[in-house]
């Protein structure tokens, strides 16, 4: 299962069930889970702990040093979950000591060609990064979120769960959970990602409650503080609205409205 041209460091841990294709390089400190596939010309540098059933397409560079001028060779790492698809020319950098020392990728994620995940970033389960989507350092993409093609997420920004960022968007503030956000000129939220929520099994009642919260936040004459106070005064609106409110309250960079 290991091609004769592949280079695997003696200190790497590669189970026999893994397939290592032509001209792949697996460095010291790399630990692969069961049944991973490196197609060809894949480079993985450690320390990196990678789960099972991950597929790496040609010419991706995984676990390389962070692109940070302050990095001085410190022992930082990358962690990747299970059942991910990493397409051609994707780059994922390890963490930095000032950012916690680790970049974390969840499970069941699709990263399309040329996507980039910067140092100390976190990508949640079932997220999708389309072609050439770019996460700067310290960015967070929560579960089931989609970052569209040629979009960029500014450092320290968060993309909320189930959000959909349209292609070519520059997200310089936090992207609201459940939202559709896109850049015609400046980035704006255009309401609820209702189709995406329906596809994921959200009931009509759950969607109705989230839609009501979005109307208060985006379409009423209330400012953000007033809209949050109004939502709280209405009593229990369910866990989805509670997540949305908490996301806004915890934002350090502000949210895109």
Minimum mean pLDDT among 42-51, 94-103, 148-157, 176-185: which range? Answer: 176-185
Indicate if 232 and 112 belong to the same structural domain.
Answer: no
- CATH number at 235 reads 1.20.1180.10
Q: Average pLDDT over the chain, rounded to whole?
A: 94
CATH number of 108's domain: 2.160.10.10
Establish if 229 belongs to a structural domain: yes
Residues 22, 128 share a domain: yes
Which residues are identified as catalytic? 119-120, 137
Range of the domain at 215: 197-249
**Pairing outcome for strands 55-56 and 19-20:** unpaired
Number of compact structural domains in the chain:
2
Say if residue 108 is in the same domain as residue 206: no
How far is it, in rounded angstroms, from Cα 182 to Cα 38?
A: 34
| 52: in domain | yes
Does 18 share its domain with 87? yes
Point out the domain boundary residue: 88, 123, 138.
138
Q: Are residues 26 and 112 in the same domain?
A: yes
> For position 183, what pLDDT does the model report?
82
Rounded to 5, what percent of the chain is helix, strand, coil?
20, 30, 55
- Verify that 116 and 43 share a domain, yes or no: yes
Residue 27 placed within a domain: yes
The yes-or-no verdict on residue 186 having pLDDT over 80 is no
Tell me: do 134 and 12 sit in the same domain.
yes
> Does residue 96 surpass a pLDDT of 80?
yes
Residue 122 and residue 217 in one domain: no
SS3 category, 212: helix
Q: In angstroms, rounded to a whole number, what is the distance separating the alpha carbons of residues 103 and 117?
A: 8
Indicate whether 207 belongs to any domain. yes
Pairwise pLDDT comparison (184 vs 246), residue with the higher score:
246
User: Would the pLDDT of 32 be above 70?
Assistant: yes
Last residue of a domain, one of 138, 162, 180: 138
Chain segment 42-91, per-residue pLDDT in tens: 999 999 999 999 999 999 999 999 999 999 999 999 999 999 999 999 99
| Helices assigned H by DSSP within 149-214 | 194-199, 204-214
> Would 218 be classed as within a structural domain?
yes
**Residue 59 has which token pair?**
């010419």
**Three-state secondary structure call for residue 170:** strand
Strands 179-182 and 188-192, by their bridges, are: antiparallel
Q: pLDDT > 90: what percent of the chain? A: 86
């Amino acid at each position: 299962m290991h091609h004769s041209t592949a280079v695997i460091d003696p200190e790497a841990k590669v189970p026999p069930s893994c397939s290592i294709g032509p001209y792949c390089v697996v460095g010291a400190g790399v630990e692969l889970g069961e049944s991973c596939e490196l197609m060809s010309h894949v480079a993985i540098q450690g320390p990196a702990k990678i789960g099972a059933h991950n597929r790496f397409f040609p010419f991706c560079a995984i676990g390389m040093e962070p692109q940070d001028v302050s990095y001085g060779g410190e022992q930082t790492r990358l962690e990747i979950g299970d059942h991910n698809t990493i397409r051609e020319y994707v780059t994922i950098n390890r963490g930095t000591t000032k950012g916690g020392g680790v970049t974390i990728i969840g499970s069941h994620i699709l990263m399309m060609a040329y996507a980039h995940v910067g140092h100390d970033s976190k990508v949640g389960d079932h997220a999708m990064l389309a072609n050439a989507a770019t996460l700067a350092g310290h960015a967070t993409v929560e579960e089931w979120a989609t970052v569209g093609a040629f979009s960029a997420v500014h450092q320290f920004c968060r993309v909320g769960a189930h959000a959909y960022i349209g292609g070519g968007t520059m997200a310089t503030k936090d992207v609201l959970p459940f939202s559709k956000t896109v850049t015609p000129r400046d980035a704006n939220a255009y309401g609820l990602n209702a189709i995406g929520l329906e596809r994921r099994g959200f009931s009509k009642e759950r969607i109705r409650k989230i839609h009501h919260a979005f109307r208060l936040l985006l379409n009423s004459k209330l400012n953000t503080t007033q809209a949050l106070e109004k939502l709280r005064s209405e009593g229990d609106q369910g866990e989805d609205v509670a997540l949305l409110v908490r996301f806004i309250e915890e934002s350090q960079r502000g949210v895109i409205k």
